[in-house]
Structure 1
Amino acid sequence: MKSTYEQNLEQTLFAMLSDEALEVARFITNDEEIHHWQDQSNAVSIRRLGYNDHGPVHMRKVAINAMNMFNILIQEGIQPSIVKEDTGSVEDSRIAVLLAAFLHDIGMSIGRQNHEISSFVLSERIIDRILNTVIPNQLRRQITIKSVTLEGIMGHMTHHAISSLEAGIILVADGCDMEKGRSRIPMLISHESRVGDIHKYSSSSVERVTIEKGAEKPIKISIEMSASVGFFQVEEILIGKIMASTIKQYIELYANVIGRDVKRYL
């Protein structure tokens, strides 16, 4: 059963969409199989391995982050790769980003190592099922959307080079889900120190991540934190994802401990 928080996130996402992309989002968020894959990913990530959230809430937050950045870039006249290459429309690009956002971490259901590859394999059939439902009998569109979706899934850990703008959005959208709520459950159930705890402690100090239109560049990302340990999330995770992303030239990045000077990274 969905939590109230999940449902609220869905309503936020739906308000950002229309037409076929909205239909895809409604399909994904009500699909039983996808929900179970996301739940299993969370069980493995949090309870077995002691990592942060990689389940339904994380996927919805990544989707919101991605759509926020996607919409800003479109408003600024920046074409996604599918449009630039004349293989599809803005709507096709938007659908590909949505699908990748919701499916990129389902491979965590198997384990952390190479989970982007596991997600790739597990997602193939699911993507086909969604596209055959929402845009049936349009094989060329389906192939274009699927290829870009799979690139976004495969590339979200920076281990595999990406080339599309759409996949670059997924990288940054994933890295931006670092607010303290993501580490709440691991912090509650963890009673022993272990390697990797820095991810939980650093995330728990991040109070707010804001994505909005920038003054100098299209996208401005601002991170506010309660303690300096939160800079680990920015410097060791988010910046690495941005630097590997095809949208890095469009991003301003700021971070600060609340009450202290703001540091500009990009």
Structure 2
Amino acid sequence: MSDSAAEEETRRVYSPDEEHSFPDEKLNRVLAFIDEDEEITTYLEAQNINAVDRMRYNDHGSKHIEIVRNRALCLYDLLKAGNVDFNGARQQGLDEADESVIIALAATLHDVGHVVHRDQHAYYSIPLAADILDRILPEFYDVAESVRMKGEILHAILCHHRSETPLTTEAGVIRVADALDMESGRSRIPYEHGGRGINTLSSQAISRVSLQQGDSSPVLVEIAMTNAAGVYQVDNLLKAKLEGSGLEDEIRIVAVNTNETREQLVERIEL
């Protein structure tokens, strides 16, 4: 395996062509559909205007959504391989194949509320996402299934906000995956425009996030940081989202300071 292939395997990128620990045919059809959807594409572009252009906040646009959705699906794959129970679709009488669709659609639409305002965006996302789902879900589900899927997706969207408690494993995955988009590229634009707030500086200190199968838990998340400022991303943001997600015992997080040229205030953090 080449170095680049090995790195991609460690970082994990969801590929429809690979084998997964869950039924993926329906998910792959939904992903192909939404990737070509003009309304969704426009929302993902427009939602960055308030967040980045007007408020100098970290990226919440198309790239953020791509990363969050990818990491959510990779988390889901690892958790399924570890026999973690997913209750959202099951308790609604939906199929196992619908678990990943809930996760993918929630990850895609969780930040659309930014087109209204960055503040309280999770609550603005609900009516906007509901309208989109009313159009998309009937392409794949009957009326009763669409209603149940819509409820589960909206629950996961709402619960990516730390003030709300996930009641399903699917929602817990979205909550954690959202916090795993923390690498330096996310804060590039506000940093280049002079942004020096803690969110920007701490993100600049994160060089790499990788997901892999763990030894003591189904998932091991390894975070490489080049500066102690990265502690804020790990301890204040990621830890806060992991707590209450329902996945605290399933995901092990290790952050290591890889900067060997300076005296290190922090060498390693483990959650």
The answer to whether the superposition gives a TM-score over 0.5 is yes
8 Å contact from structure 2 (residues 92, 148) kept in 1: no
One-letter amino acid of the structure 1 residue matched with residue 42 of structure 2:
H
Q: Does 1:150 align with 2:154?
A: yes
Aligned counterpart, 1:263: 268
Show the counterpart of 1:7. Answer: none
Task: Give the aligned partner of residue 250 of structure 2.
Answer: 250
Residues 92 and 141 of structure 1 are in contact (CA less than 8 Å); yes or no, is this contact kept in structure 2? no
Determine the structure 1 residue equivalent to 2:122.
116
| Contact 1:110/1:118 (8 A) holds in 2 | yes
**Number of the residue aligned with 1:60:** 66
Instruction: State which of 174, 179, 193 in structure 2 corresponds to 1:175.
Output: 179
- The match for 2:57 among 51, 54, 78 is 51
Report the Cα distance in structure 2 between the residues aligned to 1:56 and 1:240, rounded to whole angstroms: 24
- Percent identity, aligned pairs only, is 29
Q: Structure 1 segments of 4 or more deviating over 3 A? A: 11-18, 259-262
1:254–1:262 Cα contact (<8 Å) kept = no
What is the distance in 2 between the residues matched to 1:39 and 1:149?
21
Asked whether the 8 Å contact 1:104–1:153 carries over to 2, the reply is: yes
- What is the SS of the residue equivalent to 2:229? helix
Mapped contact 1:59–1:101 kept (Cα < 8 A): yes
Q: What does residue 33 of structure 1 align with? A: 39
- 3-state SS of paired residue (1:53): coil
CA contact (8 A) 2:90 2:96 kept: no
The answer to whether the 8 Å contact 2:14/2:73 transfers is no
How many angstroms apart in 2 are the aligned matches of 1:192 and 1:59?
22
Distance 1:192 1:95, change over 3 A: closer
Corresponding residue to 2:77 among 59, 71, 74: 71
**What does residue range 92-103 of structure 1 map to in structure 2 within 5 Å?**
92-103=98-109
Alignment match of 1:160 (pick from 151, 161, 164)? 164
Q: 1:177 to 1:99 in 2, by over 3 A?
A: same
User: Partner of 2:118: helix, strand, or coil?
Assistant: coil
Alpha-carbon distance in structure 1 between the residues aligned to 2:267 and 2:147: 44
Aligned pairs, number: 250
* Structure 2: runs of 5 or more not aligned: 1-12
Contact 1:38–1:56 (CA<8 Å) still a contact in 2?
A: yes
Q: Is the 8 A contact 1:81 1:166 kept in 2?
A: yes
Q: Secondary structure at the match of 1:224?
A: strand
Shift of 1:15: 4.0
CA deviation after TM superposition for structure 1 residue 36, in Å: 1.1
RMSD: 1.8
- Residue 14 of structure 1 and its aligned partner are, at CA, apart by 3.5
Q: 1:191: which partner in 2? A: 194
Mapped contact 2:156–2:171 kept (Cα < 8 A): yes
TM-score (norm 1): 0.89
Residue 222 (1) aligns with residue 222 (2):
yes
Name the amino acid aligned to 1:244: G
Deviates further, 56-65 or 126-135: 126-135
* TM-aligned CA deviation for residue 130 of structure 1: 1.2
Counterpart of 1:210 in structure 2 is 210
User: Which is richer in helix?
Assistant: 1
Contact preservation (8 Å) 1:104, 1:116? yes
* Residues 14 and 25 in structure 1, CA contact (< 8 A), matched pair in contact too: no
Output the TM-score relative to the length of structure 2.
Answer: 0.87
**Could you say if the C-alpha distance between residues 192 and 225 of structure 1 is closer, same or farther in structure 2, counting changes exceeding 3 Å?**
closer
The structural deviation recorded for 1:143 is: 2.0
Cα displacement string for residues 203-252 of structure 1 (whole angstroms, at most 9, x for unaligned residues): 01100001111110001111101111011100110000000201111011
Q: Does 1:19 align with 2:28?
A: no
Secondary structure (helix, strand or coil) at the match of 2:117 reads coil
